[in-house]
Structure 1
């Protein structure tokens, strides 16, 4: 990847232009970049990333977004539409998560800017709620802790880091890839604010034993968050279609919050997620109030302040136009495609599927380094996600993979890749790929943290620095 993409074709802005550029010229540049970048995922060979892949749907969402893009969702007196959109988005997710099963408390939710923020809000809420109701706080000499499976998303680790919570990460079974509730139970103590389960987890697409974890949370008097960021908008429809999806929502006693990303299988634009709670009191615990500011009384339900109303409008538009029937139809195609892709993997004795996945899956090999497969298939347009411990290849099946010919191309390329991997392993050759969330990249040195920092610097600094003048 170039440090200065498109610098060979388009003007590089080293400073703010003295006079504004022609709009048609700018739109032409944007059109070129958009068309070229779309071509990389339209093949159906890209794991995850583009969950919808439907340009007609994107055009519709863009039209909905444009009508409210300039609106500040913070100012509800001027923009009552945002109250309608946000309230109905939350209501629809609560309905999808069977909040009607909750009878003793009042369920509620928040719309956030992504899965990480949904998780951050949930953990912040648990911290504040535990401080208010159980006296658990660092100030009181009781450091709050969170118990999570190793497979749970790193956003939980980030939440612990940001909010001063002890992170108690427990291992998962290497065969099933699931967490053992007994292992979680051993990690819980009087300062535990919540435990975590995934439906499904990102690395393997498997669903933790939510019912057992919920029962444990009830017995120990702690919160229970289900991370449905990935599966929240597809697993319910897989259940309706008879794919054997276990209950993971508010029907499970002990589940007190769930995150679900509308910008994944909800087919909204990126930057949209929802977190719902079984009890409004837990959500309200993380509200922020500053009543003595000279600028007026400040109140915020979440970490964001100003937000574009376009995101709420387009997310709402996606949900109400697809409806249950639309989501169910797309889920059926995705589950069927995932099964065909996994069957192609299982047809090779040298390859092994990790656990019992659902709509996304990972596979590894005991015969050779699985990254040889990624090395071979990358030049053919396949972009997988790399896993580690053990090395594995991850494929999140989305609508672009359901296109005609994708499964056949995967099967053919995989068969050749297996032969290549065997030959490379026999020759003692190293792989070129490695594991970083969101892709398979060049191999990393032993000083992983330094290398990761260099990669982040490359994205944030190098590409934004001034390229050398010709």
Structure 2
């Protein structure tokens, strides 16, 4: 109900006001011209004094214009008229945009204070919160909200976490979870656990105390740089994940823009499909972000619009390899060439593709160059905790040169505690994660990563080909690396409920928006299950949604559906509620 009401109120009021202003202005212009050409009074007389005053003022203005235009010939008058019409048109367009923004913002703020709407909003919000609680707290067992008076016995702790660990493994062991766990090999997990235990107290903030942790971190960076065809100048650092890698790269380019070009209000240009970590970087570091639309269903960026978006304040242009939503490979060579021509840094986000895209050519697949072989690529991010099979919490950010990396650093030399420097957000960092990442890479080796790449890519392509053969579905992008995204082509078959129907079959897929789509990030556990079971389940899910679409318009699908019509402020409030519920003990 609220979605329908807001969907009506929100665009209608702004459109009606903008149209009214537009019609009034055009009407005044036409009426004035008509009266001028026929030598009549511009405004009819009224007895009301307010109208008389307005009439006299407009008459005086008209007389002034007549005196000013009297000495102009027909050509000059025509040019002036056309210029006035053009200016008036653009003023109306700007006014319409302002009205739309202001009215929508005001309505979004005022709606919760309307008694009837407030009750509906409260009811719907509570229902959504109940659904969130049901989803997030479904496995909650014994609660501990206070520190125990006496410490627990080690066996009791191990028994408790052992139960929880086994329950969690059920969520991904069957190979039906999109992303999340990328390897899951028991022998590798055992090794990672043992290595982490031995370095659990190490902290690379103190390389004098933990010199081998420092060495392992440097070797991880060097090995990843080699995978992405870096040279002796290529350098980088280990971060806590893809988000931090992206944020640190954008911070480096902000500082580069200030130091090298005196840019005060830096701008970054990204495809509309770029990871939200770029939005977070823009918000944290006060940068302007410009998003370039992508073509559908190919998911490819519009390069002409990218070129048009470049300004003197542009400090970075971004390409994804592949993009998270649809798995599309952005044309890195073209984007890097555009950036290089204008002497602008170009960042490649390979966080998701990581070792898979790095090993595509070695695995026998065609793969356009996207790494440091491409002139113009100045930095690249890669998540070692994805297809590098390292434990969660590690990523590598690479730069073409140490000079660029230096802009990422933070230093202070006048602190009373001494000189301080760090390469990323964190000061102290878990050396155990660095050691475990080093161990995972050394254990898997190039042959292991090539074998994993073949399995993941072959599965992804089989899946994409199978979905393309289904009469009511189409693949977005190409589905040729490690992501398959699809949507309905049947107007009577909504896309998002298909994801909910797959959820009833144990699949944990991601729902997308703008446009609606369903996404599967392929991992080794998923690929090991074979593509046939996914395609069979998908065919059944499509038929079920066809027969009763409303039955599956629930959960996340319902939230995304409402988000299309409800003001953004209310949607953001609901998303923050999810974050609040997350911390319910």
Matches within 5 A, 1:413-452: 413-425=537-549, 431-434=553-556, 444-445=562-563, 446-452=566-572
Q: 2:273 aligns with which of 142, 146, 151?
A: 151
* Cα pair distance change 1:197/1:85, threshold 3 Å: same
In 2, Cα distance between equivalents of 1:181 and 1:136: 24
Instruction: Find the counterpart in structure 1 of residue 247 from structure 2.
Output: 120
Q: SS of the counterpart of 1:239?
A: coil
Matches within 5 A, 1:210-229: 210-229=332-351
- Per-residue deviation at 1:55? 2.2
Q: Once the two structures are superposed, what CA deviation does each residue of 1:254-286 show, in whole Å capped at 9, x if it has no partner? A: 000000000011100110000100121111012
**Would you say the 8 A contact 2:394–2:433 is kept in 1?**
yes
Q: 2:292 aligns with which of 161, 170, 174?
A: 170
After superposition, the CA RMSD in angstroms is: 1.9
In 2, Cα distance between equivalents of 1:444 and 1:60: 46
TM-score between the two structures when normalised by the length of structure 2: 0.73
In 2, Cα distance between equivalents of 1:26 and 1:154: 37
Matches within 5 A, 1:198-213: 198-213=320-335
- Per-residue deviation at 1:229? 0.3
**Would you say the 8 A contact 1:181–1:216 is kept in 2?**
no
Q: SS of the counterpart of 2:209?
A: coil
Q: Which runs of 5+ in 1 are unaligned?
A: 138-142
Instruction: Find the counterpart in structure 1 of residue 170 from structure 2.
Output: 39
Q: 1:361 aligns with which of 484, 491, 495?
A: 484
**Would you say the 8 A contact 2:545–2:552 is kept in 1?**
no
- Per-residue deviation at 1:465? 4.8
Q: 1:326 aligns with which of 441, 448, 455?
A: 448
- Per-residue deviation at 1:241? 2.0
Query: In the alignment, is residue 267 of structure 1 matched against residue 350 of structure 2?
Result: no
**Would you say the 8 A contact 2:498–2:552 is kept in 1?**
no
Matches within 5 A, 1:88-127: 88-100=219-231, 106-127=233-254
* Cα pair distance change 1:162/1:24, threshold 3 Å: same
**Would you say the 8 A contact 2:320–2:349 is kept in 1?**
yes
Q: SS of the counterpart of 2:179?
A: coil
Aligned residue pair count = 447
Instruction: Find the counterpart in structure 2 of residue 140 from structure 1.
Output: none
Q: 1:337 aligns with which of 440, 446, 459?
A: 459
Instruction: Find the counterpart in structure 1 of residue 520 from structure 2.
Output: 395
* Cα pair distance change 1:68/1:220, threshold 3 Å: same
In 1, Cα distance between equivalents of 2:560 and 2:468: 27
Instruction: Find the counterpart in structure 2 of residue 407 from structure 1.
Output: 531
More helix as a share of residues: 2
* Cα pair distance change 1:51/1:463, threshold 3 Å: closer
* Cα pair distance change 1:240/1:286, threshold 3 Å: same
Query: In the alignment, is residue 456 of structure 1 matched against residue 576 of structure 2?
Result: yes
Q: SS of the counterpart of 1:281?
A: helix
Q: SS of the counterpart of 1:186?
A: helix
**Would you say the 8 A contact 1:370–1:421 is kept in 2?**
no
Q: Which runs of 5+ in 2 are unaligned?
A: 1-133
In 2, Cα distance between equivalents of 1:4 and 1:310: 30
In 1, Cα distance between equivalents of 2:479 and 2:136: 37
**Would you say the 8 A contact 1:387–1:393 is kept in 2?**
yes
Instruction: Find the counterpart in structure 2 of residue 386 from structure 1.
Output: 511
- Per-residue deviation at 1:431? 1.7
Q: SS of the counterpart of 2:489?
A: coil
Instruction: Find the counterpart in structure 1 of residue 262 from structure 2.
Output: 135
